[in-house]
A and B are shown apart, each in its own frame.
Chain A
């Protein structure tokens, strides 16, 4: 195809230069959320509910206000009233109103002249609670008689007769699964559960805010999307959006968890009250208790298969618990599970369920990894019982260009089959297994997103380029932006500097989420560079006295487009830049749009695992990620995304979980007992980049950050189940659970 050929002749794209932020990060020069100070700055502490569910009878802060160094105390009364929709949810979450809805729910905040003074004063705030019954488990929360988190929270999508904690419902599919099951040689239906897991970013949320009595403010914060922070803060504090300028710090990990707003309006409210800058840094325990983990789930999946591996029908019910607010990603869970397969009969139902837990937040492909765990486990079991090859079965049923997706539309150009074929050819798939080891395969799917995007590309007088983007760099995107700008302009990578601009500098940029940045900011960068090239050509044309259309841009120079255009020496970018003040003024290219065409992405993972049958301990011994990147701009950082998704998936599958006691208090609000994998827990994670270009991007880019975490839960569970000889249906597969399963089988 012409498009494929066009995307193969790159000079910069596809190489592996060092990232521009690398030296700052390894030398400590990079400034993260907590790394800034301001003259007269105060330190803030948030006071949180120790109860899972309680009515707040009274808050008495008079002793705290009189304590040494205290300059301001805020409660819900210090925020905007009359909010609706998600703004009300965000406010209710970051500062409780009438009810404390989970262990860790904020009820008040203090700003003082030192963090020690603020901590001491926090103990003097008297909060009177009236205890209420609570529920933290998704299935329990749907049972008759379960405590109601908030009456009337359900929308019109919920069928009549369901518990009020079920607040949204998704129902999609086509055909008749019952008809499909009737055609099958084997039908398997099982229940699967997954616990809530935290994104586990190393940098806690932190910000420094100033808001004066005139309603004008500045905010420095660690976020994946500072325009969103600006918008939310303005709403919650009842100020005009443009009066608050927000700058995004370097970010020490986000994975979706820093798309939400938790502390910034609190710092600004304290600042407004004290008329001083306020710094707020979340302690780690607060990060676990009060920022969003992903949803926990309970899922029933039923699939029918013929002896030849044809899937005849599939259905699933996906119940997602998202804490004390609506928003669990149940529609994505429902839509993603069966997406890899072309199905005649399929139906998927999702439920969004409220409990007394923190408000869930996005975590890398929200909802999809759990769905893949349930669906791909059933497919693995079907393959085992029918004696079929797990890759051949997936290839036989794979979604392809033109087939109808399980949730409606027909697929555009997609690369699932290519990942399966690459996995089958990979030496890992045919390598002999050690005695007692097991191998697991899984596919995974994520939509990817585009979103509102604005960039600006300004030429300096020496011919180097300053590129301003509005998407915080959460995965090496500045390197990719520099590369795409350099590719278009025909200049060296080192001649482009990419900066994440503040909210006053560019038009609205959506959050860095949905694996959108390399796609959308990349597309915008290419278009802004092309806009710049037009302007550069015009300057050369004016100098030569020919039409702008008669000038081309090649290898960093303006040249006449052909013999008829005239005989002029190439005019390099540096020459045009050096004279731009005299030839019409600054040269700046820009692009603003909401692009459409973020191509979806599929992956196939292969995992080998060994299980210690005496202790239940699992060792992941080999791991291979095969994923469609569309076009890998910087292959090293694409591989890094693949490995990172697999690593987080290993933690989620084996040991990470939110543990609540019977009082609904979180038992493991720290990295000691919330067990993310350490380096020695992981094998070297091999990667294969498949490139099936996305027609919706000039270079064929698809987002890669999220798809990589979709297959791991299932692939690891399949490997462990095959090693242990018993199907593991509940995550995490902690050692005690494996021993129990082994005991139950024998």
Chain B
């Protein structure tokens, strides 16, 4: 195994593009190192991106949008009051992952690029309308987060492509987001179902909404019908029922050791409703 510490994303990309074996980018390592130790993935080239300038930065631009570096940890996000004020759902989603020790290492970008359909922060990022900044041999591009995962453990990133940051759009007035997951325990578990909701209000009426579900399909899914079910409503019972129905209809889960098809489908609707209520209250606060 070769261990690299490039000082720019361009260098990181070049190393990955030239590699012929198994390549992994290392930030927090909460997936990569676990997979290494349990003999699941043994990289030939391990490219540590933590030495690149700016990877730990959280920046708010003048238009209200945000850029969160690839190595920003859950603990750092959770202490950023301005970010929490605007995107509490994204922060709470990442914060749910693992223990206090894991929180000191885990990152949004790592959670995204691991490609798990159960990744907690991904539904929240998709609901928020986040994008990923991708550096590759052909240059830099910006990709909607929902376009990154393509299947369990797989992404749309090409050879030599590396995600340098996650970008959140301007929150704007009267917006709120929330993420809920279901686990059989209260901590230290993987989502059986996850639901992220982000919406904006004008008075009591919802004028925009995005809903994303985790662990109910091969990838985290953006459920446009579920968001549409909320727009124009005041989150009354009819809208909530329509939301739950759209969420359930979008589920294509499997039965496995963590949950059955029936259970995941039913709970997806429940969580979408509950998350929507929280987001709605936050938007009105």
Which residues of A are at the interface with B, using a C-beta cutoff of 8 A? 119, 285, 614-617, 654-655, 659, 667-668, 672-673, 675, 677-678, 680-681, 734-736, 739-740
Q: Which residues of A contact B68 (CB under 8 A)?
A: none
Establish whether residues A678 and B185, one from each chain, have CB atoms under 8 Å apart when the complex forms: yes
Establish whether residues B257 and A681, one from each chain, have CB atoms under 8 Å apart when the complex forms: no
Establish whether residues A672 and B263, one from each chain, have CB atoms under 8 Å apart when the complex forms: no
Establish whether residues A659 and B260, one from each chain, have CB atoms under 8 Å apart when the complex forms: no
Establish whether residues B257 and A736, one from each chain, have CB atoms under 8 Å apart when the complex forms: no
Establish whether residues B185 and A614, one from each chain, have CB atoms under 8 Å apart when the complex forms: no
The answer, yes or no, to whether B270 is at the interface (CB within 8 Å) is yes
Q: Which residues of B contact A736 (CB under 8 A)?
A: 259-260, 262-263
Q: Which residues of B contact A673 (CB under 8 A)?
A: 190, 257-258
Q: Distance (Å) between the CB of B112 and the closest chain A CB? A: 20
**Given known contacts A615-B270, A616-B263, A667-B257, is B189 in contact with A677 (CB within 8 Å)?**
no
Establish whether residues B184 and A735, one from each chain, have CB atoms under 8 Å apart when the complex forms: yes
Chain B residues numbered 175-211 whose CB sits less than 8 Å from any CB in chain A? 182, 184-190, 192
Establish whether residues B185 and A677, one from each chain, have CB atoms under 8 Å apart when the complex forms: yes
| 14 A/B residue pairs, CB under 8 Å, sorted by A | A119-B39, A285-B38, A614-B266, A614-B270, A615-B267, A673-B258, A675-B189, A678-B185, A680-B186, A681-B185, A681-B186, A735-B192, A735-B267, A736-B263
Q: Which residues of B contact A615 (CB under 8 A)?
A: 182, 267, 270
Q: A654-B184, A667-B257, A735-B184 are in contact. List 9 more A-B contacts (CB 8 A).
A: A668-B257, A673-B190, A673-B258, A675-B189, A678-B186, A680-B185, A680-B187, A735-B267, A739-B262
Q: Distance (Å) between the CB of A461 and the closest chain B CB? A: 48
9 shortest interchain CB distances as A-B pairs: A736-B263, A680-B186, A614-B270, A667-B257, A659-B257, A678-B187, A655-B184, A680-B187, A681-B186
Q: How far is the CA of A285 from the CA of B39 in the complex (A)?
A: 12
Most buried by B among A119, A285, A675, A677: A675
Most buried by A among B39, B182, B257: B257
Q: Which residues of A contact B39 (CB under 8 A)?
A: 119
Q: How far is the CA of A242 from the CA of B66 in the complex (A)?
A: 71
Chain B residues numbered 257-285 whose CB sits less than 8 Å from any CB in chain A? 257-260, 262-263, 266-267, 270
Closest to A670 in B: B38
**Given known contacts A672-B190, A673-B257, is B184 in contact with A617 (CB within 8 Å)?**
yes
Q: Which residues of B contact A659 (CB under 8 A)?
A: 257
Where chain B touches its partner, the secondary structure class is loop
Establish whether residues B263 and A735, one from each chain, have CB atoms under 8 Å apart when the complex forms: yes
**Given known contacts A735-B263, A736-B259, is B270 in contact with A675 (CB within 8 Å)?**
no
Q: How far is the CA of A285 from the CA of B184 in the complex (A)?
A: 21
Q: Distance (Å) between the CB of A114 and the closest chain B CB? A: 15
Establish whether residues B182 and A617, one from each chain, have CB atoms under 8 Å apart when the complex forms: yes
Q: Which residues of B contact A740 (CB under 8 A)?
A: 262
Q: Which residues of A contact B262 (CB under 8 A)?
A: 736, 739-740
Closest to A672 in B: B190
Q: Which residues of A contact B266 (CB under 8 A)?
A: 614, 739
**Given known contacts A615-B267, A616-B263, is B184 in contact with A734 (CB within 8 Å)?**
yes
Q: Which residues of B contact A681 (CB under 8 A)?
A: 185-187
Q: How far is the CA of A615 from the CA of B263 in the complex (A)?
A: 8
Q: How far is the CA of A712 from the CA of B180 in the complex (A)?
A: 30
Closest to A659 in B: B257
With beta carbons under 8 angstroms apart, the residue of A285, A675, A677, A739 that contacts B263 is A739
Q: How far is the CA of A736 from the CA of B262 in the complex (A)?
A: 8
Q: Distance (Å) between the CB of A293 and the closest chain B CB? A: 16
Q: Distance (Å) between the CB of B152 and the closest chain A CB? A: 16
Chain B residues numbered 221-265 whose CB sits less than 8 Å from any CB in chain A? 256-260, 262-263
With beta carbons under 8 angstroms apart, the residue of A668, A675, A739 that contacts B185 is A675
Q: Distance (Å) between the CB of B161 and the closest chain A CB? A: 30
Establish whether residues B187 and A675, one from each chain, have CB atoms under 8 Å apart when the complex forms: no
Q: How far is the CA of A740 from the CA of B186 in the complex (A)?
A: 21
Q: How far is the CA of A164 from the CA of B225 in the complex (A)?
A: 57
Closest to B270 in A: A614
Closest to A651 in B: B185
Chain B residues numbered 26-68 whose CB sits less than 8 Å from any CB in chain A? 38-39
Q: How far is the CA of A667 from the CA of B256 in the complex (A)?
A: 9
Q: How far is the CA of A680 from the CA of B184 in the complex (A)?
A: 12
Q: Which residues of A contact B190 (CB under 8 A)?
A: 672-673
Establish whether residues A655 and B258, one from each chain, have CB atoms under 8 Å apart when the complex forms: no
Q: Which residues of A contact B185 (CB under 8 A)?
A: 655, 675, 677-678, 680-681
Q: Which residues of A contact B260 (CB under 8 A)?
A: 736
Q: Which residues of B contact A667 (CB under 8 A)?
A: 256-257
**Given known contacts A615-B267, A739-B263, is B257 in contact with A675 (CB within 8 Å)?**
no
Q: Which residues of A contact B258 (CB under 8 A)?
A: 673
**Given known contacts A659-B257, A736-B263, A739-B266, is B184 in contact with A675 (CB within 8 Å)?**
yes
Q: Which residues of A contact B259 (CB under 8 A)?
A: 736
Q: Which residues of A contact B182 (CB under 8 A)?
A: 615, 617, 735
Q: Distance (Å) between the CB of A555 and the closest chain B CB? A: 50
Q: Which residues of A contact B184 (CB under 8 A)?
A: 617, 654-655, 675, 734-735
Q: Which residues of B contact A675 (CB under 8 A)?
A: 184-185, 189
Q: How far is the CA of A736 from the CA of B38 in the complex (A)?
A: 29
